[in-house]
Structure 1
Amino acid sequence: MSASPSPESGCPAHGNVDRRKSAAIALKNTQPDLGAHWVKSPSIAKYILRSKHARQAGAGADLVTFKNPEQAPVFFLDGELHAIKRRKTQRFLSPKAVSQQHYLVMRKVTDELLAGFKTQGHAKLEDLSFSLAVEVVSEILGLTNSNQAARVNRIQKVLASSISNAGDGKLAKVWQNFKRASALGIFYWFDVRPAIKARIKNPTDDAISFYIEEGYSKFMIVIECVTYGTAGMLTTREFITMAAWYLFEDQALRQQFLAGDEKEQVTILMEIVRLEPVAAMVHRRIDEEISGIAEHPLPPGEKYGLDIRNANIDEEMVGECPYAVDIERAKRQSDSGKFLSFGGGPHSCPGWQVAIHETRIFLEQLFLIPELTLDREPDISWNSQLGSYELRNADISCKR
């Protein structure tokens, strides 16, 4: 992958050769939920995402009910309840919050993690990225009244138990439920409980203080924390590792990233996430017939799987040379650069700016370390529960 134009093809960056890391495993594993229509057209996908008649239907969202829906995570809400909660909680994820509050945490944790890496001389990249993601999300939530290293370990166990398959057999399912309950209980007792107690006494500008003010039960606060963890910690871990892999592999792209200002760095990262979106597919259910965007009207009550990966390389939406990392692409296409990488419409990812900026800050500081090397390219696997790739065993080293 080269950051300079290819005279033979006229395409910027490596002559439009498909060098996506997760393409093969995603092609093998990506498919819509049983009974859902597979939408590959970006124009139809965008229309559905933005439609007021479409409801969230991914990860069982259309099957889960809550006793107090106003306390449900925003992911599981639609319509007015969704809009109200999104307005109330967006301040924790806004550009202002990123620049004035979260930026300081991103820099502090990045400096601490990389100082440890330079002392040790080696690390697994996914461990560093996960620790960073945990601390940034913990700051947003207000999970700051417990030991940092222990909290990372407990959250790892909670999320792992939440997204793993139980396997076949009644005993396996019982054992899986026991592990989930145990991990949640320990997480609540050592992390959530002290955070709640501290904020009842002294509220701060974070999500847990907001939940207490709104009268959330302790159980629902734990559910919110796990939802944030799945959305903000796991996905960011994978993307930081993926973006670093691109920069390790391509010296020209790495130099372009390090020489660029904040806007240029963000643009490069947005191009990488376009090519390697962590979420391969999102689902929506249409409540009313939608016509005028496809050969036949979309009937009411149907479920649709929107193929994010396919849309993000479709020239209809992203223009020519779809496999190139091209910092001018968004401008040419009159797009923000997100394309469909973070979904779209009412249920678009609310924390995308947090993820992009913590990735930018971390990678900028990482690649300034002298004699930094990627000793082992990551293994790629697929998480069927999340419908996304996972990268493990990315060994990096530097001079001690």
Structure 2
Amino acid sequence: MRVIEGFFCIPNPILSITYRRAIQARKRVAEALSLVVRERRMERERGITKNDMLAALFESDGDGSGIGFSDDEIVDFLVSLLVAGYDTTSTTITLAVKFLTDTPLALAQLKQEHDEIWAKKTASVSLEWEDYKSMPFTQCVINETLRVSNIISGVFRRTMTDVDIKGYTIPKGSKVFTSLRAVHLDQENFKDARVFNPWRWQKPLDSSNFMPFGGGPRRCPGHELARVALSVFLHHLVTRFSWEPAEEDKLVFFPTTRTQKRYPIIVQRRSCVKTR
């Protein structure tokens, strides 16, 4: 979280305590990952190989030289992956739980959808791709969570040519911050834009106004994986447990979207639940 907070402050460790803490946090994470990378390199030299992402990075040819990625390059990639894929997904899960708790009708419909999926399976059978594709209301909940919360508030771009927008010209080479939050919470794009309403996604909407994972060739490559992770989590949560807030909490949107107290809840196992 501290690394992400450093993205939205003055990039000067002297003027900004937040930025200084972000740099220190990034350094600690990088040191821990460097240790893992060095240990794995030593294992490879002893002939011990594994079939995972880190092994693929060792074998990859980063620039066409035949040398592959250096340890520093691999660590930088892993840090980026953790920042982009871990904290964003876990925060979205937290916000989805809060929105559902605050919207009992949505929670009830979500439970019904997943109870029907679970009822068709035996205790020893895990979720399969067909189950994931049979969660239409779950996707509505995920879409609405992403729209209202805007985990990624915007994206940075550089104009490759002069761009004309509503009579204003953005010169070639300009640095632009595209505010996804401004699009998602615009009343012209979504009726009652600040209200959590997953049912709005049950009818066709203009997809050009919804871009939680960015767009174009630089669209987040993990967008579908994130949806699957959210769907699987919600399935196990609503079919196995019930919960209630442990204390009052609220959303904050700066420097990133999150709950002020990380939304603590009191969890109880649901009665009449199959054992897995």
Give the TM-score, by structure 1 length: 0.51
From 253, 258, 264, give the equivalent of 1:390.
258
Distance verdict in 2 for CA 1:339–1:279, change over 3 Å: same
TM-fit CA distance, 1:187: 3.1
Mapping of residues 31-50 of structure 1, within 5 Å: none
Mapping of residues 61-76 of structure 1, within 5 Å: none
CA distance in 2, matches of 1:176, 1:324: 32
TM-fit CA distance, 1:265: 0.6
Q: Which residue does the alignment assign to 2:64?
A: none
CA distance in 1, matches of 2:182, 2:233: 29
CA distance in 1, matches of 2:187, 2:21: 47
From 257, 262, 265, give the equivalent of 2:135.
262
Is 1:237 paired with 2:106? no
Q: Which residue does the alignment assign to 1:290?
A: 163
From 96, 99, 104, give the equivalent of 1:251.
104
Q: Which residue does the alignment assign to 1:186?
A: 32
Mapping of residues 210-221 of structure 1, within 5 Å: 210-214=56-60, 215-221=68-74
**Superimposed CA distance per residue, residues 339-392 of structure 1 (whole angstroms, 9 cap, x where no aligned partner):** 1211111111111222222122112211233542221244545553xxx22323
Q: Which residue does the alignment assign to 1:202?
A: 49
CA distance in 1, matches of 2:182, 2:20: 38
Structure 2 portions without partners, runs of 5+: 61-67, 114-133, 270-276
Is 1:301 paired with 2:165? no
TM-fit CA distance, 1:278: 0.4
Is 1:226 paired with 2:79? yes
User: Contact conserved, 1:167 with 1:173, CA < 8 A, in 2?
Assistant: yes
**Superimposed CA distance per residue, residues 26-58 of structure 1 (whole angstroms, 9 cap, x where no aligned partner):** xxxxxxxxxxxxxxxxxxxxxxxxxxxxxxxxx
Distance verdict in 2 for CA 1:351–1:179, change over 3 Å: closer
User: Contact conserved, 2:147 with 2:184, CA < 8 A, in 1?
Assistant: yes
TM-fit CA distance, 1:324: 5.1
- What is the one-letter code of the residue matched to 1:226? V
User: Contact conserved, 1:285 with 1:303, CA < 8 A, in 2?
Assistant: yes
TM-fit CA distance, 1:290: 2.3
Q: Secondary structure at the residue paired with 2:141?
A: helix
**Superimposed CA distance per residue, residues 298-353 of structure 1 (whole angstroms, 9 cap, x where no aligned partner):** 321222221111111335544x44345244537422539x8121111111111122
Moved more, 165-174 or 362-371: 165-174
Q: Would you tell me which structure has more helix in proportion to its own residues?
A: 1
User: Contact conserved, 2:2 with 2:22, CA < 8 A, in 1?
Assistant: no
CA distance in 2, matches of 1:394, 1:381: 12
Distance verdict in 2 for CA 1:315–1:221, change over 3 Å: same
- What is the one-letter code of the residue matched to 2:183? A
CA distance in 2, matches of 1:216, 1:187: 15
CA distance in 1, matches of 2:158, 2:56: 30
CA distance in 2, matches of 1:370, 1:343: 33
Distance verdict in 2 for CA 1:381–1:311, change over 3 Å: closer
CA distance in 2, matches of 1:361, 1:282: 28
Is 1:333 paired with 2:205? yes
Structure 1 portions without partners, runs of 5+: 1-158
Q: Secondary structure at the residue paired with 1:329?
A: helix
CA distance in 1, matches of 2:139, 2:89: 15
CA distance in 2, matches of 1:352, 1:238: 15
User: Contact conserved, 1:281 with 1:307, CA < 8 A, in 2?
Assistant: yes
TM-fit CA distance, 1:297: 3.2
- What is the one-letter code of the residue matched to 1:389? T
CA distance in 2, matches of 1:172, 1:262: 40
Mapping of residues 78-97 of structure 1, within 5 Å: none
User: Contact conserved, 2:150 with 2:181, CA < 8 A, in 1?
Assistant: yes
For the aligned residues, what is the CA RMSD?
3.3
Give the TM-score, by structure 2 length: 0.71
User: Contact conserved, 1:245 with 1:377, CA < 8 A, in 2?
Assistant: no
CA distance in 2, matches of 1:241, 1:356: 14
Mapping of residues 130-145 of structure 1, within 5 Å: none
Distance verdict in 2 for CA 1:315–1:333, change over 3 Å: farther
